[in-house]
């Protein structure tokens, strides 16, 4: 038997990855510190609090962030022995990526991705390249939105050709 929701409390925008015998979910934390909550499970039904990704002031600039802004829609991935987490600081209008060998950290300092937008994600290709996507405004007059995508270096945030 399991309960619904399987993760108690307020945990919007979940992103999941599977490593070994564990599943990890990260969720949005908006203007709250520490940032980006990590949940852990072995069976996808019983979840427990694991840790938070952004635990230091240098990781997370929420200065003057109003209610319901801050960190949106984090994504977690695992590739070649490292965890990668990418998210949007909606109030500050930037995206960034951090990484760690262990889910409990230490996590690297944020590497900024100089492309506006929300709901960022990472995809690692079979040849090891990292593809970044986000949803952004394409026309400030009509407020139309589009998908942005580019290969990046996830260790620096730099966009590649």
pLDDT of 140 reads: 73
Q: What pLDDT score does 94 carry?
A: 83
Ranges of residues in the chain whose predicted pLDDT is under 70: 91
Any long-range contacts for 47-54 (C-beta under 8 Å, 24+ apart)?
Answer: 47/6, 47/7, 50/24, 50/103, 50/104, 51/103, 51/104, 51/105, 53/26, 53/85, 53/98, 53/105, 53/107, 54/98, 54/107
R_g over Cα of the chain = 16
pLDDT value of residue 154 = 97
Spans of all domains in the chain = 15-121
- Residue-level pLDDT at 63: 77
Predicted pLDDT at 58: 83
pLDDT of 109: 95
pLDDT at 55: 93
pLDDT score, position 6: 87
Q: Residue 30 contacts by C-beta under 8 Å, 6 or more apart in sequence?
A: 67, 68, 69, 70, 71, 72
pLDDT value, residue 14 = 96
Tokens at 51, concatenated: 């840790």
Closest CA to 79 of 109, 98, 101: 101
Placement of tokens 């407020």 in the chain: 143
pLDDT number for residue 91: 66
| Interstrand relation of 47-54 and 15-19 (parallel, antiparallel or unpaired) | unpaired
C-alpha to C-alpha distance for 63 and 91, rounded to whole angstroms: 9
pTM as predicted: 0.92
CATH 2.115.10.20 fits 15-121, yes or no: yes
């Amino acid at each position: 038997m399991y309960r619904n929701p399987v993760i108690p409390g307020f945990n919007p925008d979940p992103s999941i990855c599977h490593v070994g015998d564990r599943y990890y979910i990260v969720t949005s934390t908006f203007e709250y510190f520490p940032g980006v909550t990590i949940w852990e499970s072995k069976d996808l039904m019983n979840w427990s609090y694991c840790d938070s990704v952004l635990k230091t002031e240098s990781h997370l600039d929420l200065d003057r962030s109003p209610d319901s802004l801050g960190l949106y829609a984090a994504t977690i991935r695992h590739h070649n022995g490292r965890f990668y987490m990418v998210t949007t600081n909606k109030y500050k209008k930037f995206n960034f990526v951090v990484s760690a060998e262990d889910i409990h950290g230490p996590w690297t300092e944020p590497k900024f991705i100089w492309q506006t937008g929300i709901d960022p994600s990472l995809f690692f290709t079979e040849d090891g390249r990292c593809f970044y996507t986000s949803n952004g405004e394409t026309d400030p007059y009509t407020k139309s939105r589009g998908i942005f995508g580019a290969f990046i270096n996830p260790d620096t945030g730099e966009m590649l050709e």
